[in-house]
A and B are shown apart, each in its own frame.
Chain A
């Protein structure tokens, strides 16, 4: 099975900061990668799919990049509503795996 490793596990940042979260796959997954935002007690929300496509309705301050084994989620100009936990997720050969999550906290 493909393993997904996210870093960092926790990130402290201030409103207005540029934030980058990294996700590494244990083998190449082409661009079969998605990013989600989750707030406490809520279901995850899709932000980015196919590594770099912005989901409809998601603010343009969110962007994704990468292919193969290394991917990044960038938030440019962190807003108060963005303090949450973020997960990457891969798809490969009828198997789906999530990263362990990155909690973005207020500095």
Chain B
């Protein structure tokens, strides 16, 4: 059974940094791209970033490029999202998601999410 367990969320002040983690199990982690998707309170889903299976390439939403960095440790089956210069509008539940194989075009598995709150 695929399991994705996010951690690292919490309260952070504007301008601060935070690193989220996603521990993956139940599938061959090294064979899949991985993504982060977020959802602000009461709002819709927003794709944040995707990293290829090897970690060699990463893609970001235009609005986030430069502040967020996605990475992975294939030896630990863990995905990360490093977030800098956080703003109030980054407040959201952050989901780790496993895309489909190949083109990674849709998401079959999701974690439970971790809440990030940016506030003074």
B108 within 8 A of A: yes
| In the complex, residue of chain A having the shortest beta-carbon distance to the beta carbon of B107 | A46
User: How many B residues touch A, CB cutoff 8 Å?
Assistant: 21
| B112 partner residues in chain A, CB cutoff 8 A | 43
Stretch in contact with the other chain, from A12-20, A66-74, A76-84, A92-100: A92-100
Task: Tell me the chain A residues, 49-94 only, with Cβ under 8 Å from chain B.
Answer: 49-50, 55, 87, 89, 91, 94
0/1 interface trace, chain B 99-111, chain A, CB 8 Å (1 if under)? 0100111111011
Q: In the bound complex, what is the Cα–Cα distance between A46 and B115 (angstroms)? A: 22
- The reply on B46 being an interface residue by CB < 8 A is yes
Q: Tell me the minimal C-beta distance from B113 to chain A in angstroms.
A: 6
CB nearest to A4 among chain B residues: B44
Contacts of A43 in B (CB 8 A): 95, 110-113
- The answer to the question of B21 belonging to the interface, with a C-beta cut-off of 8 Å to chain A, is no
Q: Kindly state whether residue B69 has any CB partner on chain A within 8 Å.
A: no
Say whether A49 contacts B47, CB under 8 Å.
Answer: no
B110 touches A89 (CB 8 A): no
Question: What A residues does B37 contact at CB under 8 A?
Answer: 98
Q: Are B105 and A94 in contact (CB under 8 A)?
A: no
Q: How far is the CA of A95 from the CA of B104 in the complex (A)?
A: 10
Q: Do B105 and A98 touch (CB < 8 A)?
A: no
Q: Is A44 part of the contact surface with B, judged by Cβ < 8 Å?
A: yes
CA A81 – CA B49 in complex, angstroms? 31
* Cβ-defined contact, A44 with B45, below 8 A: yes
User: 1/0 contact trace for B60-75 toward A, CB 8 Å?
Assistant: 0010000000000000
CA distance A49 to B101 in the complex (A): 12
List residues of B (15-53) whose CB comes within 8 Å of A's CBs: 35, 37, 44-47, 50
The docked-state distance in angstroms from the alpha carbon of A36 to that of B95 is: 14
A32 to B105, CA, bound (A): 7
